[in-house]
Each structure stands twice: as C-alpha cells, then as structure tokens.
Structure 1
C-alpha cells in the first residue's frame, strides 16, 4: 500500500528502499509542542497470510526512533548501514523519529545504542496505545495512538538545550542542503571547528558527521533512481556532489550491499517465503 502522510506532514519518501513492499503505512507530522524533539510519527500495520513474510528494507534516517509495538516499547538507535525487518502474521507499530536533541532525556548515549534496540519502561504508554490501535476504526485509532505518544513525549522529553538545538541545526542543514558534502562545510555553516562538529554529532546522533551526510545523500540517490528512469546514475552522482559515478557506486555497495544499477532495476515488491 502506498505511503500516506497526515494533512500537516511534509511528504518525504526518503529512507524506504522499496515502497511497493510496504504494508499500510502512514506518517503523521509531530505537533508544534514537540518541535525540536520529534520529526514525525510513523505507523505501519500489516496482516499477512499464514506462512508468509514481507521483508521491509530501509535505509534509515541517521537518527534514533522511539517505538511502541505490541511486544513493548523500545528505543532503536542509529544504524550504520541499511537494515531490514521481516513482518509476519498481523501487527502494528507506532514509531517516533527523534530529533538529536531528544535523546538526552531518555538517558542513553546514542553511540552505545548504535545498531541495536533497547527496552523502554513505559507500560502505561504501551497499554494505552495498544487500546487505541485495537479500535475498529483504524484511522481514528491511529490518530488516538499518535496523540497518546505525543502527550507522553511532551511529558517525558526535556526541551532542547543550546547544545541540542545546535545538533538539530546540524541535522537540518544536511537534510535540506544537498550541496553539503563535506564536514568542513558543516563546520563553517555552524560556526564550529571540524572537531567540534564531530563531537556534536557523536554526542547527539551517534554517528560521525560524514556518515550523516552520506546517509542523506544515499537516501536522495535511491529516491531519484527509483522515481526517474530517465536520469543517469552519473547525473545523480553529480547532482549530489559525488566526484564521479564510481564514488556513488562505492557508497551504495558499502551501505546497501548492491550497486545503484541493480537497485534501480529491482524496485518492485517481493514476498519472502
């Protein structure tokens, strides 16, 4: 099912490598009260036949996610590469894409939770969201679940401090300006030294700043290759600041495990038995 977004959300297809494989999936904008703490909410729901598995392959945003699912509440740290999750049976999740400034409130150093998921003790939140997602009116239940998660975040996440706001600014610059391809450019725009940018990213995101830059550029490259069959891989590489086609190819291989050409010609949905 195609991804949909809430009425106030900005459609952003980056990160989902194979949209045709998605179950019911929605993104909802975070309310203004969570500005600087949560970028958006994402809500998948699936129901698969017996013995069937749907593999969801993701090139995640360079960030952490707070996730409520039927199995519990967890904090998923930033990832160093593409990832996948195999969906079976029926289920749902309500995820919150966190801004860098939010992590300090949850008591975890993002570097220590990189490429892993840790439990969060929030039984009341789990019970309330599970009740909402059980509503026969799926749209109403989804809205209620998002409202419950937003209220929990407003209560438990501290307002960003100056350092957190600077980390958010780092993320915003990389996400919005495709001309930023080097850490030195970030340092200049933020008024920091290169070492200062490196410390900021490690402290609040959990990844080196160059990895953050490359993640956004790879997301954009995948989106362009998927959406526009007329554009060449060399054109995509040039538009995103790569020295040449070979450098984009190397990044694809390192992070996604396949070439841009192979990705372009295999964007369809598939079910893994």
Structure 2
C-alpha cells in the first residue's frame, strides 16, 4: 500500500499541474500531540495567473493560518463531503494542522459533525481571538517554525481526554489502508458495535458517517491508481475495491471528480 504521505497526495487532483505553481511541505507532530494531530502542513504558491486547485477531501479536520480579507486568521475546516476547489492568485502561503480522525473532538468538546462542509473562524469555534496566533504563524520565515507556533497554541487549548478518540482513529486509519473494507457494516463488526452506534460515534467524533469514509477511501485508491502513470486494469481494480463491476466504479469516480478514471488518468 502507498505510504500515508502518498495517500494524502492522492487527494490533490492533477498533481503535475499543481507542482508547477505550488510548493507543499509537511512535518510530524511532537509525541504529546501525535495522538490527536496527524501532521502539520504548509503550502506556498506563486501564481501570476489564477490557479484553481481541486481537492478530494479525506475525513480530516484542519486548522489553518491564512489571510482572509487581508487579515491573518485561523480557520477551522470541517470535513468536506464533496470535492472542493481553492483559487490561488499572486503569492502567499498557508500553515495548518491536519488532525487524526476524531482528533479534533477533544479540542472542540462538541459534535464535530456540526462542522461538516463548513469553514469557520477559530474564534467562533474554539473561543478567544485567533488573529494574534495566525499573525505569528504566518510571520515566521520558515513554515516549520510557523507549525511550531501553531502546535504551542493547540497545547494551550488543553484538549480533553476522550477514550473514543484512539479507537475511532485506528478504525478510520484501518479503513484507509485495508482495501478489503468496502462496507460500513464491516467497520461496525471490527468495532464490536452496531452500525447505528458506529454512525452516531462517527458523526460526533469524526465529523462524517462511516459509509462515506469507506467509500471515499476506495475512491482515493482509484485516484492513486490514476496517478501511477501506467496502464490500469479498471475492471480488476473495481473487483478488488468492492465495486459490483467496472461501470459502478466509473460512475462513482465520475460523480466525484467530473471525469471517468481513464480520462482523468490521461489528463493527470
């Protein structure tokens, strides 16, 4: 299976185009945050002409420092249920934290599902004024140093202990890497709970349902194959990923990305 960083990159559509305009980096959290934060990441761009980047979301909540209406702010990004686009123009950069599945719940102390598909100021979600820390993060010459500032701010929030977090994080991460998991019922069986209970826990902690999680990871497997640069046996891939047949895979991928997988692979 691809590495975690490789699977994260699979979420960026048409990566060869993106590489000409944006520079992406990432760093690992310190041990005290590693149970809640999956990684820190940063993006620098220089786009004299507007560049629209398409992204296929994973079940991850992000907190990013970026300039909004000319002012540095921290934004909380809930899980986006559909592909989304970011318009980049001129020169700029962003520094952010990507949380482990369920890892944002101890900071929010409320239903993460309420953030689904939304981007909200940190002050509105977590309280306090997010502008000073956003300004400090973005003023760092090295993005790694900005990530360190963001990490210190997260520690200061005093995340609550929640025994469900490691259990749900491990379950989602298993769904990401185990291509034999193709139905939410399989996750419920692994968790030893009913599907209804799992749905409730995913909504409150992960921020989206288990069916979406399983289906999204299998579609990201299709994207990974499309980015491979070689010939792909789409019928064989469909069978391995639990689709009824090749046409079902093509319909699901086209609905998400806007192009059939073979056409997208040629373009990407």
Identify the TM-score tier after normalising by the shorter chain.
Answer: 0.7 to 0.9
Q: Secondary structure at the match of 1:32?
A: coil
Residue number in structure 1 paired with 2:262: 261
Residue number in structure 1 paired with 2:127: none
Residue number in structure 2 paired with 1:79: 80
Residue number in structure 2 paired with 1:130: 138
Equivalent-residue separation in structure 2 for 1:239 and 1:153 (angstroms): 40
Deviations along 1:85-104, whole A, 9 cap, x unmatched?
Answer: 11001111112111213234
Q: Tell whether the 8 Å contact from 2:37 to 2:103 is kept in structure 1 after alignment.
A: no
Q: Secondary structure at the match of 1:25?
A: strand
Equivalent-residue separation in structure 1 for 2:231 and 2:159 (angstroms): 47
Q: Secondary structure at the match of 2:198?
A: helix
Deviations along 1:222-263, whole A, 9 cap, x unmatched?
Answer: 111221422221122122222211121121122222211221
| Structure 1 runs not aligned, ≥5 long | 136-140, 268-273
Deviations along 1:190-231, whole A, 9 cap, x unmatched?
Answer: 111111111111111221111011111111111112214222
Q: Tell whether the 8 Å contact from 2:106 to 2:161 is kept in structure 1 after alignment.
A: no
Residue number in structure 2 paired with 1:112: 114
How many pairs does the alignment contain? 251
Equivalent-residue separation in structure 1 for 2:190 and 2:57 (angstroms): 25
Q: Where has structure 1 moved over 3 Å in runs of 4 or more? A: 9-12
Deviations along 1:148-200, whole A, 9 cap, x unmatched?
Answer: 11112222251541122222122122112111111111111111111111111
| Structure 2 runs not aligned, ≥5 long | 124-129
TM-score, normalised with respect to structure 2: 0.87
Residue 62 (str. 1) matches residue 59 (str. 2): yes
Residue 17 (str. 1) matches residue 28 (str. 2): no
Equivalent-residue separation in structure 1 for 2:53 and 2:207 (angstroms): 24
